[in-house]
Amino acid sequence: LLGNPRTHHIVHVNPTQPVNRKEPEAVRITVYNYNEKECTKEVFSEIESVCPFHNNDRITWINIDGLRKSDVEKVAAHYGIHALIVEDILSLQQRPKMDEVDDILYCLLNMLYYNGEGGCVEHEQVSIVLGKNFVITFQEDPDRDVFNDIRAKLQQAHSKLRQRGADFLAYTMLDLIVDNYFLVMEKLGERIENIEEVIVHSRSQHSMSTLNNLRKELIVLKRNLAPVRDMISNIMRSESPLLEERTTKYFKDVHDHILQAYDLSENYRDILISMQDLNMNNLNLRMNEVMKVMAIVTCLMAPATVIGGIFGMNFDIIPTAHNQWGFYTAVGLMLIIPVAMLIVFKKRGWF
Amino acid sequence: LLGNPRTHHIVHVNPTQPVNRKEPEAVRITVYNYNEKECTKEVFSEIESVCPFHNNDRITWINIDGLRKSDVEKVAAHYGIHALIVEDILSLQQRPKMDEVDDILYCLLNMLYYNGEGGCVEHEQVSIVLGKNFVITFQEDPDRDVFNDIRAKLQQAHSKLRQRGADFLAYTMLDLIVDNYFLVMEKLGERIENIEEVIVHSRSQHSMSTLNNLRKELIVLKRNLAPVRDMISNIMRSESPLLEERTTKYFKDVHDHILQAYDLSENYRDILISMQDLNMNNLNLRMNEVMKVMAIVTCLMAPATVIGGIFGMNFDIIPTAHNQWGFYTAVGLMLIIPVAMLIVFKKRGWF
Amino acid sequence: LLGNPRTHHIVHVNPTQPVNRKEPEAVRITVYNYNEKECTKEVFSEIESVCPFHNNDRITWINIDGLRKSDVEKVAAHYGIHALIVEDILSLQQRPKMDEVDDILYCLLNMLYYNGEGGCVEHEQVSIVLGKNFVITFQEDPDRDVFNDIRAKLQQAHSKLRQRGADFLAYTMLDLIVDNYFLVMEKLGERIENIEEVIVHSRSQHSMSTLNNLRKELIVLKRNLAPVRDMISNIMRSESPLLEERTTKYFKDVHDHILQAYDLSENYRDILISMQDLNMNNLNLRMNEVMKVMAIVTCLMAPATVIGGIFGMNFDIIPTAHNQWGFYTAVGLMLIIPVAMLIVFKKRGWF
Amino acid sequence: LLGNPRTHHIVHVNPTQPVNRKEPEAVRITVYNYNEKECTKEVFSEIESVCPFHNNDRITWINIDGLRKSDVEKVAAHYGIHALIVEDILSLQQRPKMDEVDDILYCLLNMLYYNGEGGCVEHEQVSIVLGKNFVITFQEDPDRDVFNDIRAKLQQAHSKLRQRGADFLAYTMLDLIVDNYFLVMEKLGERIENIEEVIVHSRSQHSMSTLNNLRKELIVLKRNLAPVRDMISNIMRSESPLLEERTTKYFKDVHDHILQAYDLSENYRDILISMQDLNMNNLNLRMNEVMKVMAIVTCLMAPATVIGGIFGMNFDIIPTAHNQWGFYTAVGLMLIIPVAMLIVFKKRGWF
Amino acid sequence: LLGNPRTHHIVHVNPTQPVNRKEPEAVRITVYNYNEKECTKEVFSEIESVCPFHNNDRITWINIDGLRKSDVEKVAAHYGIHALIVEDILSLQQRPKMDEVDDILYCLLNMLYYNGEGGCVEHEQVSIVLGKNFVITFQEDPDRDVFNDIRAKLQQAHSKLRQRGADFLAYTMLDLIVDNYFLVMEKLGERIENIEEVIVHSRSQHSMSTLNNLRKELIVLKRNLAPVRDMISNIMRSESPLLEERTTKYFKDVHDHILQAYDLSENYRDILISMQDLNMNNLNLRMNEVMKVMAIVTCLMAPATVIGGIFGMNFDIIPTAHNQWGFYTAVGLMLIIPVAMLIVFKKRGWF
């Protein structure tokens, strides 16, 4: 239940020692070079190919799938990215953060995916480097394509994306990632609903560990949301020349979304906790109900046993022993006493 | 108990993808055009009819019941409302918020209704767009009329509403919505009181899940109150030219009300939690009481069973077996021992 | 236990609809008009009588016991009090607050009384309106006299009250009300002490609901203290010309007192919670103790029952059945086995 | 257990009515008058004797043990101390606070003592009045000497105390009091350790109420630490001319200490709470263990009783009744069935 | 389980009385004197040897292993370190803090080690004194070498450490210590994972006290992380001339790391708490399961006992007593009744 897929939540890799990670054998580099009129797309596998795109009058988006130390360092050297940012790009399991060094604005955050099979939330670290007229993005996993939606929009000449600058491209990326959080939360919400159904109706004991797992998923989710919220509010307050005035309101919009996501996660957490209480109380009450019935039944039998014992004693002189109705009287007592007890118990509301 | 009507609390629609929602077939547009002297009211069903009201010297209130994407976009284009605000108006399940874009002040909040049958709080999203000399309001559900009270006041020539500007109209709307929160809270308060009665007197187990439901309703309520509080304090701090100096104290008044509503919801929450504790403890103590009585009765019978067993053994020589008073002695013992035990138990305060 | 007197804590009247309240038939108006040298006191029942006191060179204190809409509006019109303040004065169940409108400083707070019989905290709303050279106070209940102490001081020509301005009069009123909170808390503190005694010594189950009630009283108390604290710190920060420089340190003193009251209420709450834990644990341990003894006694009897059953079987050949010492051996066994069990139980520390 | 010595934690005297307190019959006034070169010490019992020390060119420390209203008022009048400060000095059970009135800086705080016998924390209110070239201290209890250490240092001509101004003397006093908090916390820490030992090893039920008491002591302690922390940070921020620049870093040092004390008290609290959980769980598990064994033993005996009952029935025809091995078979069954049950129970890990 | 190695967490030494501590007999002083071109390393045992290194044009790092009062005072006198800092260096069990006195920037923090055997977190106090062109570090324990990594880097002429100033050296030290926190947390994370495995699968009772211990370790850890976080953010805000502009971003990087460590510790704490709940609930449910089975078995036997008792009574006339099938009927009843009961119990879902 609490097996392998979630272990990466607990043992975090030391963020300053990225060496343990196996480097990917191949990286895929996609370069979009566009302005209002034109948009070219090129795919490379050699990092050196991205250098010519620097300092042209179009906007360049370089997306690098797969993190190889030498590659990142080469790009950084060419595009003037500080060594500390390179370190952050390469080390995984980082806390989302935002950095402004020299003329570069750097955002690190996690794309979240809901893994339906394992029932857990997975994340992929995404680095977004915004410079003058360029955006460079770094992704961990070459197989997953975080920015698919953006690609489609870039092809449309009349889209807002094509008409605005590099900061709008960066905004679109953040917006995409934050919107994706809602998809993940929707899945978690559905699971919470299903469990609620189970708790209220069938009261299985499994629900306890499922609730516990969900609570852990929410912890992970919330720990991702809070720093992203801070990150975006930092971007809004930043007076970087890279951010145009007219893009500000878009960042405010993302900020509203992340606030809402955070609120929602708090909501889920509160609901989960009150469901855990309800579940535990349900299980306890049900168990106690059984114990009570057993105790009552056992208790009702006891007087009959005693009466049986009384007339089973081997004394020579037992009153009514030779009486014709003796046996029936005794058995009658055995019935009357428990029934009387039952009536008393019932009256006191004991069952 | 925890069925359908409340599911919308848990699975929130992704705020950035409003497509799933079915668009209403008809919308009802009501336009009030007034100044101190005159007030005209017109009802349309075509969105184009609202355009002529722009930029006249009266104050215009356009109320649109039913959200249709094309309609909202047309109004927005004509009245200079930014695309991001249009997006907010159209997407539902939003967190209450306030936005100042260009010369427009935008408020999004939820009207709350108490559904007496389902025992749950329902909400309808209301958008208020304040511009120079006009207010445009958007409502989700054409059947519910949030702003009824305002309509009556607008008809009265001497009402303050008629003598002030568009900002006072917007204030009146916020005031109406916030005041409505108190009606909802009153209903919840009544239910809390009823449950308290039930818990203290009849101690039914149903109270547990009812308390749990109420706690969930309060979570929903509080999540609506907190952002509205922030929204109104943002309006107060805003230095928008749309807000006249003399309206400020009215917004401060709404702010006091929403603070009070928030306090009250905290109050309810604390009371609910302490009632849940009391209820659980009551149920436990009562269950334990029954178990204790059963255990005592069973325990008191045990010695009699043993004595019966002793004299029921088939030995040839059993002392007192042939004695005339043997049987009575044994039965006497069966009575004396439990009575002695009872006295000891009583003395120790065990029942 | 949780009966009527406290219901007003839960169902708050909607603060914006004061209509339900029955208006008092008679009001009592007391006017003090004083300066350093003279002090006159007059009692009226007609509201018009207070008008002549405006704008004279003495300080005027008008105390109005009993809230009648028409009266309040007349006074407000004459003394220049804003309509929003009138609304606050008339609506009850308000959250304590402070307002500065035009040249008026308005404070709304609750006088608390401890009702010894019901064991609950009652409150009466008091409005204090401070203007240039006058203070007008509004009280809900004509029978209670909140400001008795001040009356006595006003009669003394050499009292500080007579020598200072209207702001000092307002300070004295706030001080009186805040000091009264301590009297209420003292009573609650005494009850907490009494209950502690009960819990530690006699362990009655009643203590649970008494603790619960006390916790609710504290919630009410604290919800009154927190906004008063904010109110007074707002007065201190206010730069109103109504407040003389030399009065500031007196407001700081009230602020210290209300802080202390708030601290104390937190103290009480923490103590109550830890007492609730102690109480519940005590009750549980005691119940479990009884159950354990019963289980042990029942368990000790079981072997004797079995032995009795063995020798009570109707087989032709039962060993030792014809033996002279058979019976005694069996009964001996019935005694030895439980004693042996007891020794084992004791050794393991099971009782 | 929760007897008299701690009652003063709960029922606080109303801070504004110091009248109930019995005034001491005698006060002891000690005056140190020193500069870098000389230091004189004089002891008086009449308050008038302290007047001549005002406004000389040395630094004067007047320590008054025992609070008598008339005395304090005389000193205040002579040294220019505001009436509100006099009120604070005289009323006990005050919250630690700091005040700057006119040219006086006033600190009120509590000296804490650990009472080894009662196992509780006692406090004595200390008032420190810092003026130009003088410090006046007021103590409640003439028998306890809070500032002993300082006396010794004042005798040493080369001590820093003698070379600095009155503000350094005040700092030394605060430092002494704060350092004393650590001594009290050390004692509490030792008691926590002892209880931990008891809980883990012998599991007595007494530990529950001891833990509860300790938790109450910590509440008291923390309520003293938090306002002292605020007080000292207020002194640091104060721009009073009484405080020399070079003394600032010393106040920062006291501030670090009080922060550490506060942290430590939080630490203790967390440890106490987790110990309470552990203790309660230990007691419960142990109780349940006993109940389980009893239930198992009782359950194992039941089949034997049934078998005994079967063959004890008085039917004419009982199979095997006349058989030679009947009895042994029956007794054998009585043994085999419980053993078989035991094996099943063991296999399922039920004991 | 909760024995000696961790006692130092609870009883903190009074920070102002460092006298109890035994002074080490020998200290080891290592001096690195370097600039971009050269780097010399010298080891001394006499404190006087470090004086000549003051005020030369290279950067000097003096590392002192072992705290001896006289030594620290000599160094402080020579390098202009304030007496209050000397006090902090010498007293142990201090809360991490940062101080700026005169031209000195002083950091005190704890190096944490995970003691695999005791399963506890140990700490060693480290003092870092940054002055103009020099860094002096003080360590408690001569056997442990905190700054090993830095030594290696200092030997490399082209390392950034050699090319930058003393502030970069101080940064490198802080970075090293903070990075080390992650190693400790990784170990704790592994233990948490192991325990989770144990709880879910084998459900031993030991897990309870292990969880409790881990919780205490986390309290200690967190209390170290929070002040270090504040310390580093203070350094970042400090405008000390000792810190070069270009080093700021490095401190921001350490700040991000410590934030992440703090987040992670919160994560662990939440997971631990939810594991404690799960564990306790698991233990309870399992215990209750056993009790239920016992109660059911006992209850099922009771009717058979009663029937045995009925036909064991010694009446002359017992119906069916002489009947050939009487015995079998009775035994049949003894079987049929419990089976019927079982079916009812099963139907109601009681087991």
The shortest C-alpha distance from D161 to chain C (Å) reads 32
How high is the mean pLDDT of chain B?
Answer: 85
Which chains touch C (3+ CB pairs under 8 A)?
A: B, D
Per the model's pLDDT, the better-predicted residue between C16 and C227 turns out to be C227
Integer-rounded Cα Rg, in Å, for chain E is 34
Do the Cβ atoms of C15 and B257 come within 8 Å?
Answer: yes
D202 contacts in chain C (CB < 8 Å): none
Through-space distance between the first and last CA atoms of chain A, rounded to whole angstroms: 38
Selection from E320, E316, E322, E346 nearest residue E333 by Cα? E320
Provide the H-helix boundaries in chain B: 7-10, 69-79, 83-90, 148-155, 160-163, 166-201, 206-237, 248-311, 326-347
Q: Give me the helix-helix angle, E248-311 and E326-347, nearest 10°.
A: 160
Does the pLDDT of residue E279 top 70, yes or no? yes
How far, CA to CA in Å, does A216 sit from each of A211, B11, D305? 9, 19, 51
Beta-strand pair D120-131/D104-115: antiparallel
Name which of A277, A298, A316 is nearest B321 (Cβ-Cβ).
A316
Do the Cβ atoms of E298 and A298 come within 8 Å?
Answer: yes
Nearest CA in chain B to A317: B324
How high is the mean pLDDT of chain E?
Answer: 85
Phi/psi at E14 (nearest 5 deg)?
-60, 120
The shortest C-alpha distance from A101 to chain E (Å) reads 8
- Where b means 16+ CB within 10 Å and e means fewer, D227-239 reads bbbbbbbbbeeee
Do the Cβ atoms of B189 and C320 come within 8 Å?
Answer: no
The shortest C-alpha distance from C211 to chain D (Å) reads 15
What pLDDT shows up at residue B213?
A: 83
Do the Cβ atoms of A7 and E193 come within 8 Å?
Answer: yes
Query: What is the mean predicted confidence (pLDDT) over C330-340?
Result: 93
Are A315 and B327 in contact by the 8 Å Cβ rule? The answer is yes
Do the Cβ atoms of A10 and E315 come within 8 Å?
Answer: no
ipTM of the complex as predicted: 0.72
Query: What's the maximum distance between 2 C-alpha atoms anywhere in chain D?
Result: 121
pLDDT tens-digit series, residues C311-331 = 999 888 888 888 888 899 999
How far, CA to CA in Å, does E142 sit from each of E5, E70, E81, E110? 20, 17, 22, 15
Residue type for D277, please?
Answer: D
Beginning with the edge strand found earlier in the chain, give each strand of the sheet holding E28-34 in spatial order: E39-44, E28-34, E59-65, E134-139, E120-131, E104-115, E97-101
pLDDT band at E221; cut points 50, 70, 90: confident
Nearest CA in chain E to A205: E285
How far, CA to CA in Å, does E350 sit from each of A289, A291, A296, B286, E344? 9, 9, 15, 20, 9
Query: What's the maximum distance between 2 C-alpha atoms anywhere in chain A?
Result: 121
Which chains touch D (3+ CB pairs under 8 A)?
A: C, E
> Both tokens of residue E42?
């010298």
Name which of D185, D189, D309 is nearest E305 (Cβ-Cβ).
D309
DSSP conformational letter for A70:
H
What pLDDT shows up at residue B42?
A: 92
Give me the sign of the Cα torsion angle B217, B221, B222, B223: positive
Nearest CA in chain A to E265: A10
How high is the mean pLDDT of chain A?
Answer: 85
Does the pLDDT of residue B275 top 80, yes or no? yes
How high is the mean pLDDT of chain C?
Answer: 85
Does the pLDDT of residue B282 top 90, yes or no? no
Does the pLDDT of residue E5 top 50, yes or no? no
Nearest CA in chain E to D248: E101
Chain center to CA of A239: 33
In the block, which residue shows the tokens 């003193």? C253
What pLDDT shows up at residue E39?
A: 92
Environment class of residue A192 by beta-carbon count within 10 Å: exposed (0-12), middle (13-18) or buried (19+)? buried
- Counting every residue written for chain A, the total comes to 351
Do the Cβ atoms of E308 and D308 come within 8 Å?
Answer: yes
CA distance B280 to C257: 38
Do the Cβ atoms of B189 and C334 come within 8 Å?
Answer: no
Selection from C61, C31, C24 nearest residue C141 by Cα? C24
Rounded to 10 degrees, the C-alpha dihedral B173/B175/B180/B183 comes to -160
In the block, which residue shows the tokens 């390098």? E79
Do the Cβ atoms of D15 and C260 come within 8 Å?
Answer: yes
What pLDDT shows up at residue B205?
A: 64
For E120, the 3-state DSSP assignment is strand
Name which of A101, A308, A318 is nearest E309 (Cβ-Cβ).
A308
Nearest CA in chain D to C291: D291
CA distance D308 to E304: 10
Query: What is the mean predicted confidence (pLDDT) over C78-88?
Result: 91
The shortest C-alpha distance from A178 to chain B (Å) reads 10
DSSP conformational letter for E157:
T
Pick from A331-345, C211-225, D13-27, D303-317: least confident: D13-27
Does the pLDDT of residue B273 top 50, yes or no? yes
Contacts with A74 (C-beta within 8 Å, 6 or more apart), sequence order: A47, A48
The shortest C-alpha distance from B272 to chain C (Å) reads 10
pLDDT band at A319; cut points 50, 70, 90: confident
Nearest CA in chain A to B108: A256
CA distance E128 to C73: 70
Pick from B119-133, C272-286, E23-37: least confident: C272-286
Per the model's pLDDT, the better-predicted residue between B84 and B351 turns out to be B84
Which chains touch B (3+ CB pairs under 8 A)?
A: A, C
Do the Cβ atoms of D314 and C314 come within 8 Å?
Answer: yes
Which chains touch E (3+ CB pairs under 8 A)?
A: A, D
Residue type for D207, please?
Answer: S
Name which of A16, A305, A323 is nearest E179 (Cβ-Cβ).
A16
Mean pLDDT comparison of A254-263, C317-326, E278-287, highest-scoring range: A254-263
Mapping DSSP onto H, E and C, the string for chain D reads: CCCHHHHHHHCCCCCCCHHHCCCCCCCEEEEEEECCCCEEEEEECCHHHHHHHCCCCCEEEEEEECCCHHHHHHHHHHHCCCHHHHHHHHCCCCCCEEEEECCEEEEEEEEEEEECCCCEEEEEEEEEEEECCEEEEEECCCCCCCCHHHHHHHHCCCCHHHHCCHHHHHHHHHHHHHHHHHHHHHHHHHHHHHHHHHHHHCCCCHHHHHHHHHHHHHHHHHHHHHHHHHHHHHHHHCCCCCCCHHHHHHHHHHHHHHHHHHHHHHHHHHHHHHHHHHHHHHHHHHHHHHHHHHHHHHHHHHHHHHHHHHHCCCCCCCCCCCCCCHHHHHHHHHHHHHHHHHHHHHHCCCC
How far, CA to CA in Å, does E318 sit from each of A267, A319, C310, E223? 71, 15, 22, 80
Do the Cβ atoms of C212 and B274 come within 8 Å?
Answer: yes
**Residues of chain D whose pLDDT is less than 50?**
1-19
Stated pTM of the model = 0.78
In the block, which residue shows the tokens 């000390």? E240
Selection from B298, D269, D7, D207 nearest residue E302 by Cα? B298
Query: What is the mean predicted confidence (pLDDT) over A239-245?
Result: 90
DSSP conformational letter for A245:
G
Do the Cβ atoms of E281 and A208 come within 8 Å?
Answer: yes
Does the pLDDT of residue E218 top 70, yes or no? yes
CA distance C274 to C278: 6
For C80, the 3-state DSSP assignment is coil
Query: What is the mean predicted confidence (pLDDT) over C158-174?
Result: 92
What pLDDT shows up at residue D238?
A: 87
E209 contacts in chain D (CB < 8 Å): 200, 278
pLDDT tens-digit series, residues D60-76 = 999 999 889 999 999 99
pLDDT band at E2; cut points 50, 70, 90: very low
D312 contacts in chain C (CB < 8 Å): 309, 312-314
Strand partners, A108: A97, A127
Are A169 and A135 in contact by the 8 Å Cβ rule? The answer is yes
Do the Cβ atoms of A306 and B309 come within 8 Å?
Answer: no
What pLDDT shows up at residue C299?
A: 93
Query: What is the mean predicted confidence (pLDDT) over B54-70?
Result: 89
Residue type for A151, please?
Answer: R
What pLDDT shows up at residue B242?
A: 93
